[in-house]
Amino acid sequence: MNKKAEELKKEILRLTREYSTLLHQPNLPASKQQLPFVPGETTIPYAGRVFDADEVEAAVGSTLDFWLTLGKEGAAFEKELASFLGVKYSLLVNSGSSANLVALAALTTHKLPTHKRLQPGDEVITVAAGFPTTVAPIIQLGAVPVFLDNHPSTGNIDVALLEEAFSPGKTKVVMMAHALGNPFDLGTVLAFCRRHDLWLIEDNCDALGSTYSLPCEQAAALGITENSPGIPSNGKCITRYTGTWGDLSTQSFYPPHHLTMGEGGAVNIISRSPLKAYAESFRDWGRDCWCASGKDNTCNKRFEWQLGELPKGYDHKYIYSHLGFNLKPLDPQAAIGRQQLKKLPFFIEARKKNWEYLRVGLADLENFFEFSQPTHTTAWNKETGFTWDGSGCKTDCSWFGFMLRVKSSAPFSHTDLARHLDQKKIGNRMFFGGNLVRQPAFVQLKRDRPSAFRVVGQLSGADEIMSKALFLGTYPGLTRAMLDYEIGVIRSFCVPS
């Protein structure tokens, strides 16, 4: 870059920081916000972007470079994310939904042996309540979702009917989300996958930074022997981040999530490297070539391949081994993501603290609410914390939200509470699509094609979540004053003075 241009860029970035510091005060982490909170007047979002001048400078800097398409920032972010999680590769995509689509599409490749390849009509085990685009790719790729129930208190799969859902020769994949940051029962699900040689895709979109601990012997039996990077060993359990236990996992970087790049997401390839080439191919138009954008002939055989029925020597850059998509984000988005990643350990801690604060603050309202429980816990107590089940497995949640269910005996419904919170400007959400099979899209699908999906069991847990649950935010922008106000409003709604 010439000297004058370099000086100009420096000045633009200096001004950018100044501008951001002036303008983006409400987007700072709670501990740095200096704006007054006016109860009842200031809106409390359930989630949102938390950033400072670093992200804005990174976005502007990368935009000034004007490479635009995924480039050096993308490559660096992919490496940094993979190294944070301790997975082989991370591939950036333009959303969590795209990540789910690409991850599952990778398993449809003809390059896999037939018994491992997901083909039209094959089955994918999932759960009924959750976000629609965990499930939509299954149908979009011609496979059949098999819905199991959610445990109402964890939001996660009720593993009781896993074996019943299995269909020999047809079931190829288990794909589901860690609900609102709460890891699903990975010990049971992984053992099931190993027993039947199934792929596991963890939708980790809402759970970046959550950990799951499995007793060492059980983990070793599954071939898992190492903790995630930076997590010290306690000699009893293997502790790893969610999103690093299965074969593939996915992230969303849409603003309410743990990190944001505006729109964005990632597919994590946990250990088997060929999956990276398949996922990358589906992300990048279906191409066979693996050259990074702007590079040619990385394979050194650009004009020497003979694939399909193409003439020998046909340009490898334009050889397509899959019917792919183009789901890449932009480089300035990756530049933002890199700055966010540096703040991730702090974000995770803040989410945990906010959940705990709400739990303690609302503890005496147990006549009205059932509070969500981390998987493998059986109870919670203000003094002693969680009681664990006898499995030896533990979870530590990087919470996406604080979910509660309104008891049937309460004199109000969850919709009444949601309306009241709305009036009081307190952000709240239902558990995404609730029982998805009751959504118009799935009702229509069943009408059009009765074999489009299968349901195993009653889905009464998913229905309960749909009709009784809502969640409050736990994001790092929530100040103590906001959380206290939320607690106060809920308390006086339950017990009017």
Q: Which two tokens stand for residue 382?
A: 């203000």
Considering the complex, state which of residue 82 and residue 102 has its C-beta at the smaller distance from ligand PLP: 102
Q: Do the beta carbons of residue 303 and residue 134 sit within 8 Å?
A: no
Pairing relationship of beta strands 385-388 and 394-396 according to DSSP bridges? unpaired
Bridge partner residues of 146 (DSSP): 125, 454
For residue 18, which of 65, 63, 57 has the smallest C-alpha distance? 57
Q: Tell me, what amino acid is at 208?
A: L
- Calculate ∠ Cα 150-271-242, nearest 5°: 35
Smallest gap from residue 252 Cβ to ligand PLP (A):
3
Considering the complex, state which of residue 208 and residue 417 has its C-beta at the smaller distance from ligand PLP: 208
Smallest gap from residue 355 Cβ to ligand PLP (A):
17
Smallest gap from residue 93 Cβ to ligand PLP (A):
9
Smallest gap from residue 242 Cβ to ligand PLP (A):
11
Considering the complex, state which of residue 184 and residue 192 has its C-beta at the smaller distance from ligand PLP: 184
Identify the helix (H) or strand (E) that includes residue 423: helix 414-423
Q: Which two tokens stand for residue 191?
A: 């053992």
Smallest gap from residue 493 Cβ to ligand PLP (A):
27
Measured distance CA(193)–CA(261) in Å, rounded? 33
Considering the complex, state which of residue 265 and residue 434 has its C-beta at the smaller distance from ligand PLP: 265
Let me know how long the chain is: 497
Rounded to the nearest 10°, the torsion over CA 61, 85, 347, 329 is: 40
Considering the complex, state which of residue 33 and residue 242 has its C-beta at the smaller distance from ligand PLP: 242
Measured distance CA(359)–CA(447) in Å, rounded? 42
Considering the complex, state which of residue 95 and residue 339 has its C-beta at the smaller distance from ligand PLP: 95
Bridge partner residues of 214 (DSSP): 238
Tally helices (H) and strands (E) across the chain.
Answer: 14, 17
Residue nearest to ligand PLP (CB): 96
Considering the complex, state which of residue 123 and residue 206 has its C-beta at the smaller distance from ligand PLP: 206
Rounded to the nearest 10°, the torsion over CA 137, 472, 262, 24 is: 180
Q: The tokens 């429980």 sit on which residue?
A: 373
Rounded to the nearest 10°, the torsion over CA 120, 121, 122, 127 is: 110
Backbone angles phi, psi at 228, to 5 degrees: -65, 160
Q: Which residues contact 127 (CB under 8 A, 6 or more apart)?
A: 147, 148, 149, 150, 156, 157, 176, 177, 462
For residue 187, which of 390, 393, 396 has the smallest C-alpha distance? 393
Considering the complex, state which of residue 227 and residue 252 has its C-beta at the smaller distance from ligand PLP: 252
Bridge partner residues of 472 (DSSP): 402, 428
Q: Is 376 a residue of the active site?
A: no
Considering the complex, state which of residue 254 and residue 471 has its C-beta at the smaller distance from ligand PLP: 254
Query: What Rg value do the Cα atoms of the chain yield, rounded?
Result: 24
- Residues of this chain that interact with ligand PLP (CB under 6 A) are 95-97, 100, 130-131, 133-134, 177, 203, 205-206, 252, 254, 265
Active-site annotation holder among 257, 316, 376, 414: 257
Q: Cα–chain-centroid distance for residue 132?
A: 13
Per DSSP, which regions of 308-466 are E strands? 369-371, 377-381, 385-388, 394-396, 401-406, 428-429, 454-455
- Calculate ∠ Cα 101-72-91, nearest 5°: 20
Smallest gap from residue 128 Cβ to ligand PLP (A):
14
Mind telling me the catalytic residues?
A: 257
